[in-house]
C-alpha cells in the first residue's frame, strides 16, 4: 500500500465513522474493511508482513506487564466462510526478531538463557480446529511449538475487518489472544504464571 493510500485511509478515519465507511474517500482501488464475515472471501491467504504484530505480555516479577514484540512472522490461512470449521492456519515466528524497550535485553531473551533462538529459530502454531462463536468471534485450537516443545494452545479470535483490500487482493484482519504457562516450555519462573500472546495481523488472499 503506498504512502498516499495510507494517508488517505487515515484521513477517512479522522473524518468520522460515516466517512470512514466510504471507499469513495480512499484512493482508487483501495477499499475499506468492514465487519461482515461474508466479505472474508474463501481462498488461500498469507500474512501481510507490513501489517502484522506479534506481542508477548510477560509479568515483570509481579509489578507490571512487560511487552515484547516479534518483528518477523509468516503464515498461511486456508479460509472457508461457509464452513469455518474446515479452515486451517499455520504460523511461524522468527524468535531472534524479538524486541524490548530494555537496552540489550532482546539479545538476552533470544540467547541461551531464555529462548535459545540459535537452536530453535522459529516458534510455530498449527491449527487443529476452528470454532465459530458469533458473527465476529471464535476460537482457534492448535499446537504451539516453542524451543522444540509442543503444547496445545487456544486463541480467542476477533474479526477486525474484511473486504476487497487493494491491488486485487481481498484481505481480512484479526485480533487474537492466547495464554500459555511458561513452565510448560521450560522457561524460568521469572516469567510469572502466564504469558499472554497477542496477535494483530492482516491476511491477504492470493490472486
| Same domain as 92, residue 167 | yes
| Same domain as 196, residue 96 | yes
Residue % of the chain over a pLDDT of 70:
88
| Same domain as 26, residue 81 | no
Question: Which pLDDT value is given to residue 14?
Answer: 47
Instruction: Provide Rg for the chain, Cα atoms.
Output: 18
Q: Which domain holds residue 12?
A: 1-32
pLDDT (mean) for 165-177: 93
Give whole-number Cα distances, 198 to 23, 82, 195, 201, in Å: 29, 27, 10, 10
**At 183, is the pLDDT very low, low, confident or very high (cuts 50, 70, 90)?**
very high
Question: Which pLDDT value is given to residue 166?
Answer: 87
The tens digit of pLDDT for each residue in 73-110 reads 999 999 998 888 999 999 999 999 999 999 999 999 99
74: left (phi over 0), alpha (psi -120 to 50) or beta: beta
43: left (phi over 0), alpha (psi -120 to 50) or beta: left
Domain count, the chain: 2
pLDDT (mean) for 116-123: 98
Question: Which pLDDT value is given to residue 23?
Answer: 57
| CATH number of the domain bearing residue 180 | 2.40.128.110
Amino acid at each position: 500500500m503506498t504512502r498516499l493510500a495510507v494517508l488517505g485511509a487515515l484521513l477517512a478515519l479522522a473524518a468520522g465513522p460515516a466517512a470512514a465507511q466510504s471507499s469513495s474517500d480512499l484512493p482508487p482501488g483501495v477499499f475499506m474493511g468492514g465487519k461482515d464475515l461474508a466479505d472474508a472471501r474463501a481462498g488461500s491467504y498469507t500474512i501481510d508482513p507490513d501489517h502484522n504484530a506479534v506481542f508477548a505480555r510477560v509479568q515483570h516479577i509481579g509489578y507490571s506487564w512487560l511487552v515484547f514484540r516479534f518483528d518477523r512472522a509468516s503464515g498461511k490461512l486456508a479460509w472457508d466462510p461457509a464452513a469455518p470449521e474446515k479452515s486451517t492456519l499455520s504460523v511461524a515466528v522468527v524468535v531472534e526478531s524479538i524486541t524490548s524497550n530494555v537496552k540489550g535485553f532482546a539479545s538476552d531473551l533470544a540467547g541461551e538463557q531464555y529462548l535459545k533462538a540459535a537452536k530453535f529459530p522459529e516458534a510455530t502454531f498449527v491449527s487443529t480446529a476452528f470454532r465459530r462463536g458469533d458473527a465476529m468471534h471464535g476460537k482457534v485450537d492448535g499446537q504451539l511449538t516453542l524451543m522444540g516443545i509442543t503444547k496445545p494452545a487456544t486463541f480467542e479470535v476477533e474479526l477486525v475487518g474484511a473486504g476487497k483490500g487493494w491491488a486485487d487482493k481481498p484481505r481480512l484482519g484479526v485480533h487474537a489472544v492466547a495464554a500459555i504457562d511458561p513452565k510448560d516450555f521450560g522457561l524460568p519462573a521469572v516469567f510469572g504464571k502466564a504469558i499472554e500472546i497477542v496477535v494483530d495481523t492482516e491476511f491477504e488472499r492470493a490472486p
